[in-house]
Structure 1
Amino acid sequence: MFYTLLLLVVLLDQAAKLWVRYHMELGQSIEMWDGFQLTFFENSGAMASSFEGYGTYFVIPAVGIAIWAIYLYHKGMLNSLVLRCGAGIFVGGAIGNAIDRILRGKVTDFLDFGRGISNLADHAITLGMLLILIHGFIISPMRKRKSKRITV
């Protein structure tokens, strides 16, 4: 599941960005429905255009996180489905944006909900982190409580 989700996120993210770059002009918006549109934007920083011009520096932590997660996976330390899924989705998002930064020096953003423009990789990072936090703060403590009851 880890590698499947990682690869799926990278492929969907890169395919969507490629579609935007080939079918839209920079700055162009396409209204989808009320409150959501596709807007082609290139970001040389991080999410919400923070650290503008320093985006390539985010490649190093993205690669580090990917290597660390793969190591944890192979050591059996991603010990729940939620944790494996969260890590795979998170790493897929990090790699998706790292590919843009390496190949283009900037990230293609296009999802415009009216509060900033993002991409699928950004949302994968957020969803992956949410699943990792759910595991850490809900699932893991529940497992520990359950195993204490069994051993007592």
Structure 2
Amino acid sequence: MKFHGLNGGIDLFYMISIFIILLDQVSKIWIRFEMQLGELKFFGNDLVHFNYYENSGAAFSSFQGYGRLFVIFAILVVVVILYYRKKGEIRGLFMDVGTGLLVGGAIGNAIDRAWRGSVTDFIVLGSQTGIMNIADIAINFGVILIIIGMLVTSIRQRKRSS
């Protein structure tokens, strides 16, 4: 899906990817300037609070110290998505938004891993979740939308063939 402006069109995929990268990086810079490592900030309820943490590993603090290796994985994910988008196999609103979120989140965290050796996490939702950041949330929502997009495509193909 393209949005047309004065200088031609820009894909929704690229708009979302760039927005997520910028939002993620700005939020992490803000947290590093405004909070001390390990500091907690509550916002009047237990639904959302901030807890500044530097994660040198992967999800749920697994593989501590090996975070830079995940830069390679992020690059592979981005390359595969760009390849299939170019082939025209990734299309539709759910897929554009989902892959945009996924790519933006992967690049956002890869930037941290490549330059800092760790990812800045700070968002805690409720009392049962781990500590996340904007990129992590984008990746999770992206995967959900990609799955929905695949299901919608599958349902449409079945309806056409019957």
Instruction: Tell me the TM-score normalized by structure 2.
Output: 0.87
What is the CA-CA distance between 1:15 and the residue it aligns to?
0.6
Q: In the alignment, does 2:20 pair up with 1:6? A: no
- Whole-Å Cα distance in 2 between the matches of residues 4 and 147 of structure 1? 32
The aligned counterpart of 1:116 is 130
Residue of structure 2 equivalent to 1:46? 58
Partner of 2:153: 140
Higher helix share: 1
Aligned to 2:68: 56
1:96 alignment partner in structure 2: 108
Give the deviation of 1:146 after TM superposition: 2.4
- The CA RMSD measured in Å over matched residues stands at 1.1
Matched AA of 1:78: I
**What's the secondary structure of 2:51's corresponding residue?**
strand
Q: Is the 8 A contact 1:17 1:108 kept in 2?
A: yes
Deviation at 1:144, TM superposition (A): 0.6
Deviation by residue 1:9-58 (Cα, 9 ceiling, x = unmatched): 10100010010011111111111132221111000001211111111111
Identity of aligned residues (%): 43
Question: 2:93 aligned with 1:78, yes or no?
Answer: no
Query: How many residues are treated as equivalent by the alignment?
Result: 148
- Structure 1, unpaired ranges of 5+: none
